[in-house]
Amino acid sequence: MELPLRARALETGDTVAVSALSSGLDPDEVELFERGIRAVEGLGFTVRVAQSVEPGRRRWWMSAPPAEIAGELNGLFRDPEVRAILALTGGRAALSYLDLIDFDAVRADPKPLLGFSDITALHLALYARTGLVTVHSDLVTHGFGYWSELAEDRRRELDDVYRRVLTGDPDPVRLPQLGDWQTWRPGRATGRLVGGLLNRLIRLQAGPHALSTERFDGALLFWEEVGTSDSFIWNDLHVLRQAGVLDRIAGMIVGPTGTVEMLDEGPGTLREIVLDVLGDRDIPVLGNVDIGHEPPNVPLPIGVLAEMDADAASLTLLEPAVTRSTGVATPSRVAV
């Protein structure tokens, strides 16, 4: 099993690229996009907007044909001036071009990829194939684009935690509790973060870019869902149970409950769904965490060691997501 692969830490003024890795930029979201760019620039980075972000550029529900999206992504990984890649938005395209990604280029010059929703497929495929630490985070539009609407203290919290994650703060980073995090099952656990949008995880596991079962050993599995019902989630969690995933993980972190439809004939709460599938597995569960489709998101670096305390409703990153070094970025590996 490949160990976590860390990119070089970002420094003030470094170039980060925004790419439409799934859906494109709708004309009515240009203002939201511009606000998102300002928020990223406020972290101290220089933003480069890729060609795919041209407003109105699209093919069907995508920003471009899959081969073009993959070509742009590969070009960004090969470009030594680009130190991080930010997803413009989510959508329904990432699974279509996983076989076109230049994983050798990723290994040669690792750099963090940021985003959520459909970008989960990229996060997990990159982690499965190369061990790259990417960051489940806000999107440029639906995420960073909302920061200007937040209260000043919330905005400062997000500025601080994103900057610390991307610049490789060596001290533990306790993630800010932006909403009402809930103790669904008590306890504490330490493990490597892995997860994202649940249905993308399930689909990825059916193909050649699936995570090995060892990736889940002692892991903190985080997931969220949107636009679906409790029964679909219940079935997807049972798929993970039957695959042995739930017997391997050390803890579970669940995203917002308000993005899931609870059916009349169902149990009534997402918590009940989760605990029903887990059965008597004695692992802590932290619910309603700020990840996914009710941004802003707290950044969760995939592959990074973290500690969850469900009793205290806290989540702390125990090691950096990137490595502080000088010169050209080189792979940095740590023990599992």
Quote the pLDDT of residue 218: 98
Task: Give the DSSP letter string of 220-289.
Answer: EEEEE--SEEHHHHHHHHHHHHHTTGGGT-SEEEE--STTEE--TTS-SSHHHHHHHHHTT----EEES-
Q: Which of the residues 224, 225, 319, 332 is marked catalytic?
A: 224
Among this protein's residues, is 224 annotated catalytic? yes
Among this protein's residues, is 272 annotated catalytic? no
Grouping H, G, I as helix, E, B as strand and the rest as coil, residue 41 is helix
Residue 123 contacts residue 113 (beta carbons within 8 Å): yes
CATH 3.40.50.10740 is right for the domain spanning 5-171:
yes
171-189 as b/e, with b when 16 or more CB fall inside 10 Å? eebebbebeebebbbebeb
308-325 as b/e, with b when 16 or more CB fall inside 10 Å? bbbeebebebebbbbbee
Among this protein's residues, is 23 annotated catalytic? no
Which of 52, 58, 54, 56 is closest to 21 using CA atoms?
Answer: 52
- Supply the pTM of this predicted model: 0.95
Write the CB contacts of 3 (distance below 8 Å, at least 6 apart in sequence): 131, 333, 334, 335, 336
| Residue limits of CATH 3.50.30.60 in the chain | 174-317
Cα–Cα distance, 62 to 58 (Å, whole number): 5
Tens digits of residue pLDDT in 224-270: 999 999 999 999 999 999 999 999 999 999 999 999 998 878 888 99
Quote the pLDDT of residue 133: 98
C-alpha distances (whole Å) from 52 to each of 33, 63, 71, 91, 229 are 13, 6, 11, 14, 33
Q: Which of the residues 19, 63, 117, 137 is marked catalytic?
A: 117
Quote the pLDDT of residue 334: 33
Quote the pLDDT of residue 3: 75
Cα–Cα distance, 336 to 324 (Å, whole number): 19
Quote the pLDDT of residue 107: 98
**Looking at the domain covering 174-317, what would its CATH class be?**
alpha beta
Quote the pLDDT of residue 266: 83
Quote the pLDDT of residue 329: 40
- Count of other CB atoms within 10 angstroms of residue 99: 12
CA torsion sign for 307, 143, 255, 332 is negative
Question: Is the bond into 66 cis (omega within 30 degrees of 0)?
Answer: no
Q: Which of the residues 136, 293, 319, 332 is marked catalytic?
A: 293
The pLDDT tens digits along the chain (336 residues) read 567 999 999 999 999 999 999 999 999 999 999 999 999 999 999 999 999 999 888 899 999 999 999 999 999 999 999 999 999 999 999 999 999 999 999 999 999 999 999 999 999 999 999 999 999 999 999 999 999 999 999 999 999 999 999 999 999 999 999 999 999 999 999 999 999 999 999 999 999 999 999 999 999 999 999 999 999 999 999 999 999 999 999 999 999 999 999 887 888 899 999 999 999 999 999 999 999 999 999 999 999 999 999 999 999 999 999 999 744 444 433 332
